[in-house]
Each structure stands twice: as C-alpha cells, then as structure tokens.
Amino acid sequence: MVHELLRQRKWRIMDQSHVGPMFDARQSFAIDDTLCTSVGQGGSDAVVRTWVHHDTIVLGIQDTKLPYLQEGVSFLEAQGYRVIVRNSGGLAVVLDEGVLNVSLILPESKKAIDINQGYEAMWELMKQMLSSYPVTVEAKEIVGSYCPGSYDLSIAGKKFAGISQRRVRGGVAVQIYICVNGSGSARAEIIRQFYERGLQGAETKFVYPRIVPATMASLSELLQEPLTISDMMLRLLQTLRSFGSELYSSSLTEREWPLYEQYWQRMVERNEKASLPLS
C-alpha cells in the first residue's frame, strides 16, 4: 500500500543536489520555509526538493546551549566544516557530498497531517526506493547514533538516515538526510568529538546523545555497492512516477522570491543569535 501522502497528482521537483560547495545550508532551510508557505497558501503543487551541501555541520537549537559550544564549533571548523543552526527540530548532523537530503513539502489545507503520518510517508518512500535490494528498512531509534529519533531509518541495526519535520503557514516539510556513500562511522566520530568538546564532562539538564560511531553506516556500506547521489535521485524520481504522479521541474517563482528573502534573513539572524560565525 502506497501512503496517501505520496499519492499526489502532481509533484513539483526542485533538484538542488548538484549546486556545488558554495551552496549554503542556511539557504536550504529558508527555501523549505518559502515552499511550505507557498504550498500552504495554495500557490504551489506539493514539492519534492533534493539538496546536497558540502562539509557542513547542521546544529539543532539544543546544541547551541552546550556549555562549551565555542570549543565544539572551533573543533568542527578546524576539521574543515562550516557550522550552521537550523530552524527545525533535532540535533547535530553531518552534511557532505555523500549525503542526499530530500524534503517532501505538503499542504495541510484540506486536512491536518498528523506528525506520525509525515514520518510514515517518508519511511514508505525510502522502502520503495530500496525495494530492489533484499533488505529490511526499519524505523526505530538507534541509540548511539547522532540526532537520534523514533523514526531513524536503519538496515541490520545501523542507521543510514534521519527524518525531521517543520510546519510553516499551512505547509509541512518532511525532511530526510540519507547517507548514500562514504563512512557513516567517520561522520559519527566527528559529532562524538564535537559533543565531547562541547560538554567537557559538565552536567546539563538536557541529555545529549552518547555517540557510538559503529551504530551508523552509509547505504553503500550496508548494501555493499558503490552508490552515488545520482543513483538515488534516479530511484527517487522513478519511485514517484510509479505512484502515478506527474512530475515537473521548477525553481522558485517570481512570487516566491520575496518570501525567500524574508526567510533567509531569519536564518541569518538565528545564526547570529547563536554567536556562530557567518563563514
């Protein structure tokens, strides 16, 4: 059974998976908010946006409250990462050229979308995309992973993807990062060291995850097959077509650009408040 949220008559496709290293992750979160507003107001069909950012660590709001945040951020920057704070929930994640992000942006105009419905739809999409492999994609919290949640996606107990959601003005963005290739455990080790430096053994009200790098892997590692971002893009588009949806490609419209400027400014201000450099 295909999840009802995936059965859109039309999907507007915005592919930003090959923009390159200058593409700033703050732009991505501003674009998703713009599209949420546009979709929520009936100005756009449902959107599938794909995006890749190079050497970026995206922190959650809670990460900015680490007692030794600057030490943690300085460590990440010394490893060559740009550090930003996102506007949706969750904790620190690694984005690089081996990580594909997919946003499903859906309208809540006709009826509310339950939070679990959004997660289930994305899980179903991933299962369909990987249906040619003899594996089971599970959705459950993987303790020891970074940004753990009840809808961590895993194969054989190792997490390869995490899902978050954001709601803005009648639109819902269900966002997933998929570790397509590279080393999942090496990415996790970076975040483990970030928390080690950011906490330095201090007691905090909020319980930050204890990262165990071996709990994470990329799809290439799990499937023992060299996969690329382009491979996953092809699987995504073929899967959406198999649901009977019409797909068309689009960038931001003239009406959406002023909205984007507003949301971009908010992202810049959010990062300034967190005292993160605007590198």
Which run of H or E residues covers position 22? none
Specify the amino acid at residue 112: A
What dihedral do alpha carbons 49, 50, 54, 56 form, nearest 10°? 50
Beta bridge partner(s), residue 58: 84, 93
Say how many Å lie between the first and final Cα of the chain, rounded: 46
Nearest to 104 by CA among 145, 143, 49, 55: 49
Give every strand in the sheet of 246-249, ordered side by side.
138-139, 153-155, 158-168, 171-179, 99-107, 46-51, 10-16, 246-249
From 147, 190, 191, 216, active-site residue: 147
Q: Are strands 158-168 and 138-139 parallel, antiparallel or unpaired?
A: unpaired
Q: Reply yes or no on whether 147 is catalytic.
A: yes
Report d(CA 101, CA 49) in Å as an integer: 8
Cα–Cα dist 77/55, whole Å: 10
- 176: which DSSP letter? E
Q: How many CA atoms lie within 13 A of 268 on its CB side?
A: 8
8 Å CB contact between 165 and 173: yes
CA–CA gap between residue 144 and residue 147 (Å, rounded)? 9
Residues annotated catalytic, as ranges: 147
